[in-house]
């Protein structure tokens, strides 16, 4: 950790807002929705108090906010927005358009359950509704990871011409307080240069171009294949930029447990040859880490990059175990957990005992007792998806 940058005790939303301010976007637009609101409220206050120079555009809906940042990005400026739950669903059409137009948009999703029934608390159902839209999807487990991933997200978006969404668990991260180091503008400049769009990729009256044009069947599939291939190829860049960032700003760990592997795509904690590996995304990793202090034969695999899905990296880790338990805060209704489906589809060892465990829907507590129960259950093959209460 830099000796010049000291940890602060901050609410997760405030930590994200400070980081975005230091990243110096040109346009910020959002519509308030719990539990994302504190982020954009703070950004509006920075602008009103003269602490930031971005244009803050108040939108009348999430659809409008997404459209505003699409339009601003198309003119060649750095942009930002944040949303949650129903707000993300209202943005869906524009989310697809942003990816299809290859705009380097960065957005925060404060993950929250989707209605009905009405619920404002955390799970990851919202982002799963747009997982196939063509965005890089990153997941943070704590405040520091949320901060770091936002800085890295802008480097990825602007280098790859791909939009990036940073997912943080609503309330658990957005409204809680932790010690966190905020990278200042000087550090950020070392990692992230001022945004200079490639000539011919943004709107310019002197050089007219068309963005989001009509494609006939002969060309549409080629376009989608290109986006798919570029997303897959982005894994190498994600690893490269993740490592570069942490050379400039060494990791500030919230506990003494150091990972065996951490490359920006995945993170692995635990023994070299575990009996069981628990696979998850987001803040539940903290509860699992605490549980593993007494479960010496069990490892934790955190998926930090969900799209593109790091199949090869996952297979390397899972090759050392017998049992795999996928623990997730989302359900593909009528099927199984979406993370479980993705993992199973790309699994090299088809004989591996892989089980699906759904936890924390609608903000339900995920306790160490539940994690211990999952570890025990994972030793026995199951075909059904299990909901834990």
Instruction: Please give the biggest Cα pair distance in the chain.
Output: 66
Tokens found for residue 227: 């986006």
Task: State the pLDDT at residue 198.
Answer: 87
Q: What is the mean pLDDT of residues 50-55?
A: 98
CATH number at residue 344: 3.40.50.920
The tally of domains found in the chain comes to 2
d(CA 145, CA 231): 22
Band of pLDDT at residue 49, cut at 50, 70 and 90:
very high
Do residues 5 and 148 lie in contact, with contact meaning Cβ atoms separated by under 8 Å? Answer: no
Instruction: Give domain status of residue 2, yes or no.
Output: no
Helix (H/G/I), strand (E/B), else coil: 109: strand
Task: List 57's β-bridge partners, or say none.
Answer: 29
Same domain? 55 vs 152: yes
Task: List 30's β-bridge partners, or say none.
Answer: 58
Same domain? 282 vs 178: no
| pLDDT tens, position by position, 176-202 | 999 999 999 999 999 999 999 988 889
Domain-terminating residue out of 248, 279, 307: 248
d(CA 227, CA 188): 28
Instruction: Give domain status of residue 206, yes or no.
Output: yes
Task: State the pLDDT at residue 385.
Answer: 94
Who contacts 168 (Cβ-Cβ below 8 Å, separation ≥6)? 12, 16, 108, 109, 110, 111, 140, 146, 174, 282, 283
| pLDDT tens, position by position, 87-114 | 999 999 999 999 999 999 999 999 999 9
Q: Nearest-CA neighbor of 292 among 251, 252, 259? A: 259
Distances (CA, A) of 72 to 29, 78, 221: 10, 8, 27
Task: State the pLDDT at residue 250.
Answer: 83
Helix (H/G/I), strand (E/B), else coil: 337: coil
Same domain? 230 vs 351: no
Tokens found for residue 273: 């040859």
Task: State the pLDDT at residue 2.
Answer: 44
| pLDDT tens, position by position, 129-149 | 999 999 999 999 999 999 999
Same domain? 25 vs 61: yes
Same domain? 232 vs 344: no
- pLDDT above 70 covers a percentage of the chain that reads 97
Threshold 0.95, pTM exceeds: yes
Same domain? 148 vs 295: no
Count of other CB atoms within 10 angstroms of residue 206:
4
The whole domain housing 288 covers 262-387
Same domain? 204 vs 115: yes
Helix (H/G/I), strand (E/B), else coil: 342: helix
Same domain? 196 vs 273: no
Q: What is the mean pLDDT of residues 203-213?
A: 91
In Å, how far from its chain's centre is CA 48?
29
Q: Nearest-CA neighbor of 108 among 53, 76, 69, 57? A: 69
Same domain? 289 vs 225: no
Domain-terminating residue out of 220, 248, 276: 248
Task: State the pLDDT at residue 382.
Answer: 73
Q: What is the mean pLDDT of residues 313-325?
A: 96
Is the model more confident about 70 or about 351? 70
Residue 1 pLDDT exceeds 50: no
Band of pLDDT at residue 3, cut at 50, 70 and 90:
very low
Tokens found for residue 320: 């050392």
Who contacts 205 (Cβ-Cβ below 8 Å, separation ≥6)? none
Domain-terminating residue out of 213, 248, 283: 248
Task: State the pLDDT at residue 181.
Answer: 96
Same domain? 297 vs 232: no
Q: What is the mean pLDDT of residues 355-364?
A: 98
Same domain? 105 vs 181: yes
Helix (H/G/I), strand (E/B), else coil: 298: strand
| pLDDT tens, position by position, 16-31 | 999 999 999 999 999 9
CA end-to-end distance (rounded Å), the chain: 39
Residue 159 pLDDT exceeds 70: yes
Same domain? 99 vs 154: yes
Q: What is the mean pLDDT of residues 54-69?
A: 98
Torsion on CA atoms 184, 190, 192, 194, rounded to nearest 10: 90
Q: Which residues in 23-84 belong to E strands, given as ranges?
A: 27-30, 55-58, 79-83
Q: What is the mean pLDDT of residues 25-49?
A: 98
Instruction: Give domain status of residue 94, yes or no.
Output: yes
CATH number at residue 218: 3.40.50.970
The number of residues in the chain equals: 389
Who contacts 52 (Cβ-Cβ below 8 Å, separation ≥6)? 21, 24, 43, 46
Q: Nearest-CA neighbor of 201 among 298, 107, 73, 88? A: 73
The 10 Å CB-count burial string (b at 16+, else e) for 314-341 is: beebbeebbbbbbbbbbbbeeebbbbbe
| pLDDT tens, position by position, 216-269 | 999 999 999 999 999 999 999 999 999 999 999 887 665 556 789 999 999 999
């Amino acid at each position: 950790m830099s000796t010049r940058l000291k940890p602060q005790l901050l609410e997760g939303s405030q930590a994200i807002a400070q980081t975005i301010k230091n990243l110096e976007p040109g346009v910020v637009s959002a519509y308030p929705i719990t539990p994302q609101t504190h982020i954009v409220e703070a950004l509006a206050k920075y602008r009103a108090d003269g602490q930031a120079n971005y244009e803050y555009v108040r939108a009348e809906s999430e659809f409008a906010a997404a459209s505003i940042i699409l339009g601003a990005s198309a003119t060649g400026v750095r942009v930002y927005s944040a949303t949650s739950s129903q707000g993300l669903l209202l943005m869906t059409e524009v989310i697809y358009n942003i990816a299809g137009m290859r705009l380097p948009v960065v957005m925060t999703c404060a993950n929250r359950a989707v209605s009905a029934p009405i619920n404002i608390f955390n799970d990851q159902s919202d982002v799963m509704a747009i997982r196939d839209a063509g965005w890089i999807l990153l997941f943070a487990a704590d405040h520091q990871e949320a901060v770091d991933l936002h800085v890295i997200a802008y480097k990825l978006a602007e280098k790859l011409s791909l939009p990036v969404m940073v997912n943080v668990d609503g309330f658990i991260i957005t409204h809680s307080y932790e010690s966190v180091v905020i990278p200042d503008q000087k550090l950020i400049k070392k990692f992230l240069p001022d945004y200079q769009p490639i000539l011919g990729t943004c709107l310019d009256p002197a050089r007219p171009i068309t963005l989001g044009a009509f494609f006939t069947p002969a060309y549409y599939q080629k376009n989608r294949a290109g986006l798919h291939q570029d997303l897959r190829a982005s894994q190498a860049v994600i690893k490269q930029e993740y490592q570069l960032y942490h050379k400039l700003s060494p990791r500030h760990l919230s506990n003494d447990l150091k990972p065996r592997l951490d490359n920006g795509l995945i993170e692995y904690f635990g023994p070299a040859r575990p009996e069981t590996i628990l696979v998850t995304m987001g803040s539940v990793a903290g509860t699992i880490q605490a549980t593993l202090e007494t479960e010496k034969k069990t490892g934790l695999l955190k998926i930090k990059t969900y799209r593109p899905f790091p199949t090869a990296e996952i297979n390397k880790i899972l090759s050392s175990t017998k049992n795999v338990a996928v623990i997730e805060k989302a359900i593909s209704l009528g099927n199984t957990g979406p993370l479980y489906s993705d993992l199973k589809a790309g699994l090299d060892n088809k004989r591996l005992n892989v089980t699906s465990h759904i936890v924390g829907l609608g903000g339900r507590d995920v306790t160490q007792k539940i994690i211990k129960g999952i570890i025990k259950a994972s030793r026995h093959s199951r075909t059904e998806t299990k909901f834990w209460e």
